[in-house]
Structures are given as structure tokens and as C-alpha cells.
Amino acid sequence: MNINTLTVIDNRTDATYTLPIENGAIRTMDLRQMKTSPDDFGLMGYDPAFMNTASCKSAITFIDGDKGILRYRGYPIEELAEHCSFLEVAYLLLHGELPNKTENEEWTRQITYHTMLHESIKKFMDGFAYDAHPMGILVATVGALSTFYPDARNIHDEASRRTQIYRLVAKMPTLAAFAYRHSRGLPYAYPDNDLTYTQNFLNMLFKMTEVKYRPEPALARALDVLFILHADHEQNASANVMRAVGSAHTDPYLSTAGAAAALAGPLHGGANEAVLRMLDQIGKKENIPDYIKGVKEGKYKLMGFGHRVYKNYDPRAQIIKNTAEQVFQVTGRNPKLDMALELEKIALNDDYFVKRKLYPNVDFYSGIIYQAMGFNPQMFTVLFAIPRTAGWLAQWQEMLQDGEQKISRPRQIYVGYGMRQVEQPEPGTKAKAA
């Protein structure tokens, strides 16, 4: 007998089935042959929130949540964060290999060349209220790019896809910076092509009256590291949306808008903002035990803790902790770090968190660094969306090139009413449900 199989006995019919096991998985479509009668639809899998369902095969990102391992295209995240720039990592995610010198120059040239926005985008920006959340602005304006680039609908044309990838990776920082400047009532600062990706981003955010903005190298490097850590994370909620929207052959600007909308939620990328709000709410170290008590009583969650996949530690959180120290040498120490460290210490020694394997995730410390760099909490998720765009695009491209993929369309288990009829109305009255 082939040992890479699963034998199933359907007790409803006594029938025996042998299902192949490939890559540690069965195909749920193989269940459909299990029927109680010829007109039975066949057995389905039921898996709300995809707790145990692989929706694709992917060669981009590997995570071992129990061991705390994260690799992009085989490279450990720790090595990429130490030796590479964000743009090199974005290239790696999208092309499968790190760029050589010539490839890197051409890739950087293309990204630098595409950073400008159509002037009309500024009119969209101006339409938002001064206190509009920048994530809402980002979602709306990245979606609006679809209207400027109708060629993006040629999703099966490789050259067109490449152009849209250049544009999206290049323009996300410009959109994000414009959203930030709008919220501050500042004039938009245009890209400076002499600067690196993250230096230029800092320029568009913080340039005031100086002729040439000179970014602090340590901060630009810290941002590079943070961008690398956030660039991809396999089939998370936003990547799943990117693939689902893209599977309808929607163009990549609209698909990215969908993915960014998923990222905005506090259970996903919005958690970094929620962590800062939580630390503000706790106020001082002495209040931590009371706060933890409230978490254990189920009144609220400890934001920045827990992860669907990591049940040991999130390797990104460790790298971020080290980066924080480098940033604080330039900016001065953010006092919230001490509170976060204390919160972590108490939580990691508490049975509630230990039993549930709840550890700090990437968002627990990132906001503290971002705040020290001068960002307000509303910008934190925007800072996540910029690098994640490279990951979304890699996932999108892989999905389009995967011959097994079709429009993403889950099944449901219908639990509503059986067939019923609308009562005939009395003359002069409205129809109502039976």
C-alpha cells in the first residue's frame, strides 16, 4: 500500500476511500466523491477562518511558528535584516533571488524613476478632512491609481505586470508621505531621486524649508530594517485578500487597496497603533498588574501579543527590540519602551499567557520606534503597508502564474430558512415575510 495515502471509511455508507497525501495535505476536493446517494453534493471540509486549510502552494515565505523561524525565499529574516536593503529584499520576494549588482542598479533605477504621482492625486488628498485617518487615505488613493493606469488590466502580460510592480513599490511611500503631510497641513514634498528608498521617504515626510533634506543615516537604516521585517508574511489576512481580489483578475491597484484595507484592522496591521493607545491607557508601570487582570478577565486583549502562526516567539519582535536601541541613540529613549518591557516580563511569567502561548508579535515594539522617530500612531499601519506591498505583489504574481488557481470562491454551509413564501398582502397593505 502507498503509505502517502489516507484511508477513510464513510460510516454513513460503509464505503472506503483512499486519498493521496501530498506535502502533508489531502485535497479537500477528494472528499467530494464521498456521497450518500448519487444526487448528494458530496462531503465538504468546514474550516471557518482557514485554521487548517492551505489555499495555495507558495515558494515565497516560510514560517515555522513553533520554532520561531521566518525565511524569505529560503533566507533567514535575521540575515536579510543584517545584510540587505529593503529594495534588495523586495526584489528577492518578487523575483525569487537576491539581485546581482547590475540587476540591483536597474531595479533601483526603475523604482526611483516611478516615485512621482500624477498631480491629480493631490486633489484627492485635499478632499479628505484634516483629521482623516491616513490608512483610509492610503486605501482610497492606491485604489484610485487604477484609474490612471488602465494598462494595469493586462494582468496576463508580463511586461505590464512588471511596470505596475515598479509603480506600486515606488509610489506607496509617496502616497503615504502625502497622506501624512495632508494630516499635518503641510505642503507636499516631492521625491528626491538622489536618496535611497527609505531616505527619500523620510525626505517626503519631514522636509521643511531646507533646500536639500539630509536624512539621519541611522534612522533611514532602521526604517530599512523595519521595512524588511514587514515585507511579507505568507498567507495572512491581507495577503489572502490580495490573492482573492486578484483571482477575479482585478488590476493590482484595486487588489492592493483591498489588501491594505484588511491590514488596517486592529487584529492585523492596525495592532501597532492599538499597542500605543494601550500603553497610553495604562499610563504608568504601576498600573500594569491591573491591566493584566482585566485582560485575563476577558475585558480586553493585550495588543501586540499573540499570533495565529507563532506559538513560540515572533523572530521579528527580537530584531525590532535591537533596532529600537539603535534608534534611541539618535532620538533619545522613548519612555514607553520601559513600560512595554515590563508588560512583556509580567505577561511572559503569567500562566494565562504561557498556557496560551502568547508572545509579543512584530507590532508590540514597532510603534514605540516609530513614535520615537516622530510618527504619530495613526501613521503606524501606513508604515506597515509600504513594505508589505512588495509581499502582496509577490503573492499576487505567484497566484496568477499558478495553473491550479481559479477565482477564489469558498463554499458555505447554509443554515438559513428552507424555502418559504411571501404572504399575499391584504389589499392596501404591504407584503410581509411569512
For ligand ACO, the closer CB: 212 or 299: 299
State the Cα angle at 278 between 275 and 284, rounded to 5°: 120
**Does 224 interact with ligand ACO (rule: CB under 6 A)?**
no
What residues contact 129, with CB distance under 8 A and at least 6 apart? none
- Chosen residue from 141, 235, 361, 397 binding ligand ACO by CB under 6 A: 361
C-beta atoms surrounding 366 within 10 Å: 27
Paired with 71 in beta bridges are 62, 76
Interacting span for ligand ACO (CB under 6 A) from 15-23, 32-40, 176-184, 306-314: 306-314
For ligand ACO, the closer CB: 170 or 271: 271
**Does 319 interact with ligand ACO (rule: CB under 6 A)?**
no
Cα separation values, 240 from 30, 128, 167, 408, Å: 23, 29, 22, 10
- Chosen residue from 362, 379, 386, 394 binding ligand ACO by CB under 6 A: 362
Interacting span for ligand ACO (CB under 6 A) from 92-100, 207-215, 218-226, 265-273: 265-273
**Does 360 interact with ligand ACO (rule: CB under 6 A)?**
no
Paired with 22 in beta bridges are 25
**Does 304 interact with ligand ACO (rule: CB under 6 A)?**
yes
The cell numbers describing 337, all together, are 519602551
Q: Measured between alpha carbons, how far is 388 from 362 in angstroms, rounded to an integer?
A: 13
**Does 302 interact with ligand ACO (rule: CB under 6 A)?**
yes
- Chosen residue from 305, 365, 380, 396 binding ligand ACO by CB under 6 A: 305
For ligand ACO, the closer CB: 19 or 65: 65
Least distance (Å) from ligand ACO to the CB of residue 233? 7
- Chosen residue from 73, 114, 182, 307 binding ligand ACO by CB under 6 A: 307
380 burial via Cβ count (<10 Å: 0-12, 13-18, 19+): buried
Catalytic position from the list 232, 251, 314, 363? 363
Number of residues interacting with ligand ACO: please give it, by CB under 6 A.
19
For ligand ACO, the closer CB: 86 or 359: 359
Q: Is 133 a catalytic residue?
A: no
**Does 363 interact with ligand ACO (rule: CB under 6 A)?**
yes
Q: Is 268 a catalytic residue?
A: yes
- Chosen residue from 134, 143, 306, 367 binding ligand ACO by CB under 6 A: 306
Catalytic position from the list 118, 268, 350, 402? 268
- Chosen residue from 95, 118, 308, 333 binding ligand ACO by CB under 6 A: 308
For ligand ACO, the closer CB: 205 or 362: 362
Q: Is 363 a catalytic residue?
A: yes
Q: Which amino acid is at 432?
A: K
Q: Which amino acid is at 165?
A: I
Catalytic position from the list 307, 338, 350, 351? 307
Least distance (Å) from ligand ACO to the CB of residue 211? 39
**Does 344 interact with ligand ACO (rule: CB under 6 A)?**
no
For residue 395, give the nearest of 55, 47, 65 by alpha carbon. 55
- Chosen residue from 205, 271, 278, 399 binding ligand ACO by CB under 6 A: 271
For ligand ACO, the closer CB: 14 or 297: 297
Q: Measured between alpha carbons, how far is 167 from 111 in angstroms, rounded to an integer?
A: 7
Nearest residue to ligand ACO, using CB? 306
Q: Measured between alpha carbons, how far is 291 from 282 in angstroms, rounded to an integer?
A: 7
Q: Measured between alpha carbons, how far is 193 from 181 in angstroms, rounded to an integer?
A: 19
| Secondary structure element (H or E) that encloses residue 121, with its range | helix 120-127
**Does 301 interact with ligand ACO (rule: CB under 6 A)?**
yes
Q: Which regions of 236-286 does DSSP assign to beta strands (E)?
A: none
Sign of the CA dihedral running 233, 62, 409, 31? negative
- Chosen residue from 99, 269, 367, 387 binding ligand ACO by CB under 6 A: 269
Q: Measured between alpha carbons, how far is 128 from 134 in angstroms, rounded to an integer?
A: 10
Q: Measured between alpha carbons, how far is 182 from 88 in angstroms, rounded to an integer?
A: 30
Least distance (Å) from ligand ACO to the CB of residue 361? 4
Q: Measured between alpha carbons, how far is 303 from 305 in angstroms, rounded to an integer?
A: 5
Q: What is the dihedral of CA 341, 346, 348, 350, to 10 degrees?
A: -170
**Does 366 interact with ligand ACO (rule: CB under 6 A)?**
no
CB distance 231 to 387 below 8 Å: yes
DSSP 8-state symbol, 427? T
Interface residues with ligand ACO (CB under 6 A)?
236, 267-269, 271, 295, 301-308, 356, 358, 361-363
Positions marked catalytic:
268, 307, 363
